[in-house]
Structure formats: structure tokens, C-alpha cells
């Protein structure tokens, strides 16, 4: 494990070295005048505040430093030296939050599996730059990046979103994170374990002691929460979707490690038996859950659990999976997921389960914003926008003291100044967000402007 930390550090240094010649850092440089301004005043905006069902016309939003200082219906006088932006009736929203992404999945797994740690650092930076330019000012990496990448963003070397990293996900041998070739030797006995960690994918751990050690290692390396893989998955080869992974003792070991740091465990799981075992042993954030029945969703709601779902990766894998190297086994499991979702989303709505907005794309990340349109078949546009803003904060903030950034996800005084200006009204046509290059006129994170086509 010590050697793996060296790999991660080298990858991070690689990003910093390449960054000076990158468009990603050019984007940071372009934002310097706005970032250096003492204040930014946005006038004449129609505001979706992240909480309501409708736009509020004619608001002014004053940003001072990295915070929203004032939100007012009345005229606001710009402080001396402020940058003034006339929204001209554009829609102003909080920056979007993706609670399930993978910075290390810029390329399909079939390509990334052969990348060096140095290449993975570059891929991660490029991936994160794309998330920000699609309007996502905060992301939670559900198995991949560690704290070193988050630090590079905070320091301005990567023009990306605020990042809550998990480090490598924890997988049992033969589980969803076991990416060996058939009949390959166990990585515990060779260098493959170090290489897997250097790519930010997963640790293979068996027994409570190994789970505890790996969770503690991730927390030491800057994870703000722990991710475990607790059932079969689509992209893995060995484990059918019905399998239950990890024992109760192993799950409790991960929960104990996270709880001692004031944070939580989130778990990849699809089937009823796996999710019930998780809920019984202290895990209250379920990733996927697409095969759950109504009774289990009701139980999760009663426990205050999160069930985070995604639709766009299913669409992407259906359309592009074969070209991206998915096997017949992978595609068969994908179709099993799609066929097993009858009533699933309706039950999440029925029991008011907190879901947030996740995408989980492995390759084809440019399709991230299609998730807005796909969700609108089941939820109102306002519900989808709440999922992508205030719900995201509610989910991520469960990391308690490991959230060093403060509050985000709503347009409120005192919050982090994460702001988008949208050409058009997403409450009338949310599909316009599928084209962020034309839909987003302004992208601001922490009071810094990363895109501005408003003319000011």
C-alpha cells in the first residue's frame, strides 16, 4: 500500500507538470479578472434557487469573494470595482452536483486498463475539466480519485469542479472491483494490486481486518467518504447481479472506520438481499439499487437512506457499449438491469427517497447532461433540478467535518458562489441542458468565472 501512494503522488505531480501548457489552466487564467474582482453583481436574473418549483423573476445576486453576499428583489448598488453582469432575463441556478462520477473513467475501461499512472493523471484532469464545463461545480468521485487530485483543483492547477474523493473502492475477491483476466493470479500476491490502486479503481480486500486497513488508508489519503462494492455489477466479469458481496462483519468494519472520521460509507448494490444487508449494518447510501422491490425501498426510506440512481450510463452502454469493449456477459447484465426496473423510480417518488443526481459514466462522459432529459420522463423538471442541486448537497454533506467547503447547492446568502446562467428556461425544456456549450452562458465556482459569454 505504501508503494501505491507513491504511484498516486507521481500521477498528481504529472498533472501539475503538464498543466502549465494546458487549455484547462488557460481557462483558469481567463477567469483571473473576475476572480481578482472584489465583487461580482448579477442583475436581472430569473432565479431557480435549488429548493422551489418555479423561477423568481428580477433578482440580483451579489458575490463577494467566494460567497453569495446578497440575494435581493430590490436594486443592489455594486461595490466599487465590482464586475457587473446583466443576466438579461437568463435563468440563474446553483452549480450542478454529480454525486456519482469517476474522474478516472474519462476513457472506457478497455482502454484505461492499459494506461500508466502518469497517463491516468492526465486523463483525470481532462475528465474534471469537462465536468465543470458541463455546469457541474461539485462532484463526488465514487471510486477513483484521492485527495491529491482534489488539492490540485483547489490550488488552481486543474480547472475542475469541487471534488469529494473516495479513493479506490473496496471490493472482495471475485467481486465487482475484481478486474483481473480470467484465471489470473490474485493481486494480493503481486504488483497488480499496486497498479490497480494507481489507476484509482479498487482495492481487493477480504475479511474485516483488510477492509478496515483499506478504509483507513483511503481516509489517510484524503477520502471524504468510503465506497464499498456490495453486489454484482454490470461491468465486471465474474459476479452475476444476484450475488451478495462482503459479510456483515466486513461491512461493519468499513462503517466503523468511516464513523470514526465523522463520515459515511456508500455502497454499490443492485439486489434486494445485498441492500437489506447493507441497511442492517449501518450503510445508508445505496448506489444504483435498480433491482429493488417496493418493500425494500420503503425500508430504506424509513431509515433515512439515500438511493442514488442513474439512467444515462444505461443508455450509453446500450448504444456504445459494444464499441467500448463490453462483452456479451456485460451486455446481458445491462439488459437484466433495464428489465428489472419496473416500478423502481415510481417507488422512489412514492416514498420520497433522497436520490440526488448521479451519472456513473465510464467513457462517453460527454453525454453526462443527457441524464437531465432521461430523468424528465419520470420527474418534473423542477424535481430534476433539485436533485442536481440542493439534494446533491444534502447527500454529500453527510461527510460532516470532512466537508471543508461549506454549503452549496442553493442560491442563498452565505453559500459558496456556485452559479450558472442558462440561455432559456430549463423548467419548460430541460433538454436544452444536453447542449451545455450553448445552454450555459456563465459558469462560476467559488466566485471564480470559468466561462462567460454574456458580453460582460
CA distance 310 to 100: 8
pLDDT by residue (tens digit) across 34-61?
444 589 999 999 999 999 999 999 999 9
pLDDT of 202 reads 85
- Work out the average pLDDT over 334-349: 96
Is position 352 within any domain? yes
The least confident of 48-62, 176-190, 287-301, 304-318 is 176-190
Band of residue 200 on the pLDDT scale cut at 50, 70, 90: low
CA–CA distance, 280 with 322 (Å, rounded to integer)? 38
Lowest mean pLDDT among 128-142, 311-325, 409-423: 311-325
Burial classification of residue 240, based on how many CB atoms lie within 10 Å of its CB (0-12 exposed, 13-18 middle, 19 or more buried): middle
Query: Between the CA of residue 66 and those of 40, 94, 187, 402, what are the distances in Å?
Result: 10, 14, 45, 19
Q: What is the pLDDT of residue 179?
A: 65
- Tens of pLDDT, residue by residue over 240-278, are 999 999 999 999 999 999 999 999 999 999 999 999 999
In a domain, residue 206? The reply is: yes
The reply to whether 112 and 66 lie within a common domain is no
Same domain, 370 and 433: no
Residue 119 pLDDT > 90, yes or no? Answer: no
Q: What is the pLDDT of residue 5?
A: 44
How much is the pTM? 0.88
Cα 417–chain centre separation? 19
Contact 106/122 with Cβ under 8 angstroms? Answer: no
C-alpha dihedral, 79 to 83 to 88 to 90, nearest 10°: -110
Structural domain includes residue 63: yes
Cell numbers that stand for 426 in this block: 430549463
Residue 262 and residue 363 share a domain: yes
Domain check: are 313 and 417 in the same one?
no
User: If pLDDT is split at 50, 70 and 90, which confidence band does 114 have?
Assistant: confident
* 117 and 257 inside one domain: yes
39 strand-pairing partners: 64
Q: What is the pLDDT of residue 186?
A: 56
CA 16 to chain centre: 22
Q: Percent of the chain scored above 70 by pLDDT? A: 87
φ/ψ region of 71 (left if φ > 0, alpha if ψ in -120 to 50, else beta) reads: beta
The owner of cell 447493507 is 278
Residue 74 shares a structural domain with residue 103: no
The answer on 303 and 413 residing in a single domain is: no
pLDDT at residue 212 greater than cutoff 50? yes
CATH code of residue 80: 2.30.40.10
Domain count, the chain: 2
Write the CA distances from 112 to 161, 164, 189, 451, integer angstroms. Answer: 22, 22, 23, 29
Give percent helix, percent strand, percent coil of the chain, each to the nearest 5.
Answer: 40, 20, 40
Q: What is the pLDDT of residues 216-225, one digit of tens each?
A: 989 999 999 9
- With cut-offs at 50, 70 and 90, classify the pLDDT of residue 188: low
Confidence (pLDDT) at 203 = 86
Q: Is residue 398 a part of any domain in this protein?
A: no
Residue 391 maps to a domain: no
62 and 112 inside one domain: no
Residues 194 and 225 in one domain: yes
> Cβ neighbours of residue 173 under 8 Å, at least 6 residues apart?
186, 204, 206
pLDDT of residue 185: 54
Domain CATH number, residue 350: 3.20.20.140
Helix ranges restricted to H, 180-269: 192-198, 208-220, 248-260
Beta-carbon neighbour count of residue 22 at 10 Å? 18
Q: Average pLDDT of the chain?
A: 89
pLDDT of residue 191: 39
Nine cell digits for residue 228: 464499498
Phi, psi dihedrals of residue 179, rounded to the nearest 5°? -105, 25
Q: Any idea which residue has 471490493 for its cell?
A: 171
CA–CA separation, 207 vs 246, rounded Å?
8
Other C-beta atoms within 10 Å of 133: how many? Answer: 19
Q: 196 with 216, same domain?
A: yes
Instruction: Say if residue 40 is in the same domain as residue 182.
Output: no
The answer to whether position 403 is within a domain reads: no
Domain of residue 445 covers: 31-94+409-452
Q: Is 132 in the same domain as 253?
A: yes
Q: Considering only 21-25, 66-70, 374-378, which range has the smallest mean pLDDT?
A: 21-25
User: Rounded CA gap, 374 and 164, in Å?
Assistant: 25
Please say which residue of 333, 352, 375 terminates a domain.
375
Give dist(CA 298, CA 293) in Å, integer: 9
Per-residue pLDDT for 361 more than 60? yes
Higher pLDDT, 390 or 12: 390
The answer to whether residue 23 scores a pLDDT higher than 90 is no
- Nearest-angstrom CA–CA distance, 291 and 275: 10
Burial class (CB in 10 A: 0-12, 13-18, 19+), 456: middle
DSSP assignment letter at 224 = S
Residue 193 has pLDDT above 50, yes or no: no
Distance CA 175, CA 229 (A): 7
CA diameter of the chain: 69
Domain boundary among 320, 355, 375: 375
In whole angstroms, give the CA distance from residue 411 to residue 237.
Answer: 44
**What are residue 382's phi and psi, to 5 degrees?**
-65, -40
Last residue of a domain, one of 375, 401, 426: 375
Q: Tell me whether residue 344 is in a domain.
A: yes
Q: Considering only CA atoms, which of 266, 339, 263, 341 is closest in space to residue 308?
A: 266
Between CA 121 and CA 104 the distance in angstroms is 8
Which sign, positive or negative, has the C-alpha torsion 179, 183, 185, 186? positive
Amino acid at each position: 500500500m505504501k508503494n501505491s501512494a507513491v504511484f498516486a503522488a507521481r500521477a498528481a505531480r504529472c498533472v501539475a507538470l503538464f498543466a502549465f501548457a494546458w487549455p484547462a489552466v488557460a481557462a483558469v487564467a481567463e477567469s483571473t479578472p473576475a476572480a481578482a474582482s472584489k465583487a461580482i453583481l448579477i442583475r436581472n436574473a430569473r432565479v431557480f434557487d435549488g429548493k422551489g418549483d418555479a423561477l423568481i423573476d428580477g433578482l440580483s445576486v451579489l458575490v463577494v469573494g467566494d460567497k453569495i453576499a446578497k440575494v435581493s428583489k430590490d436594486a443592489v448598488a455594486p461595490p466599487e470595482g465590482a464586475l457587473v453582469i446583466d443576466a438579461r432575463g437568463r435563468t440563474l441556478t446553483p452549480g450542478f452536483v454529480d454525486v456519482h462520477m469517476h474522474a478516472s473513467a474519462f476513457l472506457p475501461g478497455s482502454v484505461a486498463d492499459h494506461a500508466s499512472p502518469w497517463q491516468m493523471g492526465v486523463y483525470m484532469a481532462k475528465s474534471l475539466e469537462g465536468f465543470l464545463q458541463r455546469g457541474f461545480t461539485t462532484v463526488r468521485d465514487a471510486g477513483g480519485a484521492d485527495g491529491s487530485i482534489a488539492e490540485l483543483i483547489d490550488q488552481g492547477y486543474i480547472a475542475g469542479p469541487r471534488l469529494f474523493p473516495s479513493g479506490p473502492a473496496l471490493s472482495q475477491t471475485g467481486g465487482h472491483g475484481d478486474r483481473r483476466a480470467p484465471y489470473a493470479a490474485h493481486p494480493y500476491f503481486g504488483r497488480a494490486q499496486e497498479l490497480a490502486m494507481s489507476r484509482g479503481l479498487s482495492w481487493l480486500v477480504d475479511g474485516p481486518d483488510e477492509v478496515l486497513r483499506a478504509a483507513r488508508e483511503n481516509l489517510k489519503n484524503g477520502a471524504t467518504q468510503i465506497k464499498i462494492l456490495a453486489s454484482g455489477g454490470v461491468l465486471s466479469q465474474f459476479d452475476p447481479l444476484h450475488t451478495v458481496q462482503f459479510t456483515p462483519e466486513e461491512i461493519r468494519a468499513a462503517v466503523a472506520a468511516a464513523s470514526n472520521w465523522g463520515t459515511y460509507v456508500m455502497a454499490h448494490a443492485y439486489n434486494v438481499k445485498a441492500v437489506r444487508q447493507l441497511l442492517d449494518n449501518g450503510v445508508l447510501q445505496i448506489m444504483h439499487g435498480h433491482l429493488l422491490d417496493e418493500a425494500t425501498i420503503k425500508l430504506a426510506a424509513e431509515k433515512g437512506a439515500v438511493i442514488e440512481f442513474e439512467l444515462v450510463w444505461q443508455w450509453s452502454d446500450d448504444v456504445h457499449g459494444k464499441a467500448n469493449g463490453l462483452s456479451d456477459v456485460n451486455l446481458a447484465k445491462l439488459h437484466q438491469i433495464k428489465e428489472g426496473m419496473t416500478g423502481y423510480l415510481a417507488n422512489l417518488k412514492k416514498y420520497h427517497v433522497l436520490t440526488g443526481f448521479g451519472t456513473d459514466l465510464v467513457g462517453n462522459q460527454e453525454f453526462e447532461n443527457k441524464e437531465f432529459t432521461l430523468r424528465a420522463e419520470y420527474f418534473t423538471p423542477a424535481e430534476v433540478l433539485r436533485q442536481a442541486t440542493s439534494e446533491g448537497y444534502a447527500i454529500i454533506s453527510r461527510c460532516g467535518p470532512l466537508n471543508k467547503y461549506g454549503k452549496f447547492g442553493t442560491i442563498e446568502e452565505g453559500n459558496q458562489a456556485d452559479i450558472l446562467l442558462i440561455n432559456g428556461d430549463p423548467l419548460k425544456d430541460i433538454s436544452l441542458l444536453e447542449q451545455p456549450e450553448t445552454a450555459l452562458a456563465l459558469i462560476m465556482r467559488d466566485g471564480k468565472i470559468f466561462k462567460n459569454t454574456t458580453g460582460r
